[in-house]
Structure 1
Amino acid sequence: MPRVLQSPDASARDGILAGAPYILEDHRKNENLLPIIRDQLKTAIRNNRFIDHYFSRQSVDVDKIGRLEDVPYIPVQMFKHFDLRTCPEGEVAKILQSSGTTGGSPSRIPLDKSTTLNQIKALKSILEDYLGKNRKIFLVIDHEGINKPEMAFSARTAGVRGLSIYAKKTFYLLREENGTLTLNMPVIRDLIENYAHEDVYAFGFTYIIWTVFYELLKKEGIRFSFDKFVLFHGGGWKKMKDLAVSKETFSATIAGLFGAVPENILDFYGMAEQTGIIFVDCPHGNKHVPAFSQVIIRDPFTLEPCEPGKPGLIEVMSILADSYYDQAVLTEDLGMLVGVDDCPCGRKGRYFRFVARVEKAEIRGCGDTFRELH
């Protein structure tokens, strides 16, 4: 069998994924990412007529892109309306669907084997930085049915599967009965009686943890007491704001449920279109950008990059995907760049904070540009 040689961008990407995620200063990271992304853009243009036309209409010469801020971004809602696949159709192993909370229709993200593997490596790298190398007891604050093979592969499913990388044993803390979520009491009793002294980490969606899990435990008067506990949670902050629940209140309250400290209740920002990358809070409340990604905050009116301290639209960049366009995605979320390379936690690179969702965000004209094919 002939030997298959890696492309230069794949080899460079493997090197980045093999390294620690938060040790590179921002300018070094940008130097590493730009040539990889340029090569990926050329592949995307060759393999996808929508992307080809999008770049053509903007008169983009990929070889002349001199900084990450100049890479053409795709508004996230384009995943709802267009096929952004950049690999042969026969290589798509599964389709990830977003929750579809914005505008009703879900995004569809095609994943091939190499993209999935890259996403697993990236997430493992991030989790290792926060959890260490040893496997731990994993608690899922959801029901087991979301992870069944016959279920649609959703962002909720991807979250559970992704964060299970470090699990030596997994427990689901909720059950679904006739469409209603209830406590999985046999599991909860087992945890309280037999696992208090284990090293434990957990995952759940913020809104489900607060409105379902917390309320059920409060009603039953149940609390855990783990020696070592870390919770990763994300999503649902618009609904939490509607409930007048702050991030600080959430962290303190949920920490009390598990016998943990609020600093170990880690909010993260992530999205289905960038699976494999989560931006996790450090002890100082800042979300850090790993070596295989970049974040740009753009002014909502001019779309120019914002200086630290000024809120704007969050753009997320990645080198993980071979099967779809994830090199530059403009979200419908507001964030604020806090600083670069100087967070007190010691992690290098850019760090930011999530501010809010944007109601009915639309980057006008992009959909038309995609539709007007040659």
Structure 2
Amino acid sequence: MTMHIDAGPRSSIALTGTEFAELDRLIFEDDDWWAMPSAEQAALRHRFITAAVAHHLEHNAAYRTFAESSGFTLADLGAPGSLVRVPQFPTRMFKRVEVRSVRAADCDVFKSSGTSGTQSMVWRDEPSLERLAGSLRPEGDIWRTLYGDVDLDDDGQMVHLGPNRREADGVWISYIMTLVEMFAATRSYVADGVLRLRDVVRDLEGALADGKFVCVAGPPVFMAELLRHMSDNGVKLSAGDRMAVITGGGWKKNESTKLDPDRLRSLAMDTFGLASAQQVRDVFNQVELNTAFIECEHHRKHVPPWVEVIVRDPRDLSPVPAGQVGLMSYLDPTARSYPCFLLAEDFGSAETDNCPCGRGGTTVHIDRRMRTSSHHGCALRLAETVRTD
């Protein structure tokens, strides 16, 4: 049974103040987030996250009670390095409780595709969704290393291996992948529960013949299905540098069906005839997180400067040293409608200023999920419900 916790009559108050205006300028107007020094990124994060914590303490009864029970007050965030003290909801909380800091009428509900009783339900209002989309802005420097000087409005074609936004029905990974529509004219190839692979191949060949820059985007499991279909039918392309491949979603259902990113990149290079493995990128997100982490040309996932990543020891939740594997947790100030302060169910690691691409800030590596339930995540559950044609 799901418990409902209402935000209360003050929940329609918009976020205001210098910190949130500056956060929006960074998200929507700055095209090179990682050019600023790491110390400057950390200072901005502290301000943005402190302001977000104050907002949710005021407007979210569940979070306020949770914080009070842990002895936390806003005064705990006075010193640099104090963000580790911010109370973080375990992501399984979103499977059990409706947590909102704004009115339900102002939100859309997004869910993971879990087995019965294990779906995460996340309430997002318009500002939260806009900021999420902003984390994927095609004008960003990290994307420009993928498509260069191509004018995507005139010369781009997006091939989306998933349902359109109307058919996504609130499933988060489907919604995330539809945001590729920001890049260029887009067609989605899952309709009525069928992934139409023959149509995909036909349109890829046609777009390349027309001189378009083509971007194929979808969950890893669907990308693997496309590559398998092309191999089985003896189809190979010669895209050269006129194609990009973007994946997003889960890579592993179980040990026997785990997809290997290096192997998928190799298959994509061979089957599509790509000029470089740098043309294949992955994007990390989960339904509870309101920011996407994008891979650079060296296949490191870069965390935008407004998100604090804390890797914790699963035994006592203390922070672990950089590069050490632990339980991933996030402080994301971009969500107005819910407290995006999360203790996730993934093991991974984080490092700072250690990417060969030269971008400053934090990179993450997601290693594996905790064994807590049969919940496989959006992309893998989506694959279980879609047939191929």
TM-score (norm 2): 0.81
C-alpha contact 1:30 1:68 (8 A) present in aligned 2: no
Cα shift readout 1:69-101 (whole Å, capped 9, x = no counterpart): 221111111111112111123322x11112226
| Amino acid across the alignment from 2:344 | T
Deviation at 1:348, TM superposition (A): 0.5
Please show how residues 1-374 of structure 1 align to structure 2 within 5 Å. 6-17=16-27, 18-19=29-30, 20-65=32-77, 66=79, 67-92=82-107, 94-100=108-114, 104-124=117-137, 128-131=141-144, 134-135=151-152, 136-142=156-162, 146-149=163-166, 151-167=168-184, 169-172=185-188, 174-176=189-191, 179-185=193-199, 187-196=200-209, 197-210=211-224, 212-227=225-240, 228-239=242-253, 241-243=255-257, 245-260=259-274, 261-275=276-290, 277-326=291-340, 328-337=341-350, 339-360=351-372
| Amino acid across the alignment from 2:85 | D
In structure 1, the gaps of 5 or more residues are 362-374
| Amino acid across the alignment from 2:66 | Y
C-alpha contact 2:252 2:258 (8 A) present in aligned 1: no
| SS at structure 2 position matched to 1:239 | coil
Deviation at 1:121, TM superposition (A): 1.9
| SS at structure 2 position matched to 1:95 | strand
| SS at structure 2 position matched to 1:37 | helix
Cα shift readout 1:189-247 (whole Å, capped 9, x = no counterpart): 2431342432222211012221x322222222222222322211122222374235422
In structure 2, the gaps of 5 or more residues are 1-13, 374-389
| Amino acid across the alignment from 1:171 | R
C-alpha contact 2:310 2:328 (8 A) present in aligned 1: yes
| Amino acid across the alignment from 1:263 | Q
TM-score (norm 1): 0.84
Aligned residue pairs, count: 345
C-alpha contact 1:296 1:305 (8 A) present in aligned 2: yes
C-alpha contact 2:220 2:248 (8 A) present in aligned 1: yes
Q: 1:88 to 1:7 in 2, by over 3 A?
A: farther
C-alpha contact 2:165 2:175 (8 A) present in aligned 1: no
| SS at structure 2 position matched to 1:207 | helix
2:386 corresponds to? none
- Taking the aligned partners of 1:180 and 1:263, their CA distance within structure 2 comes to 30
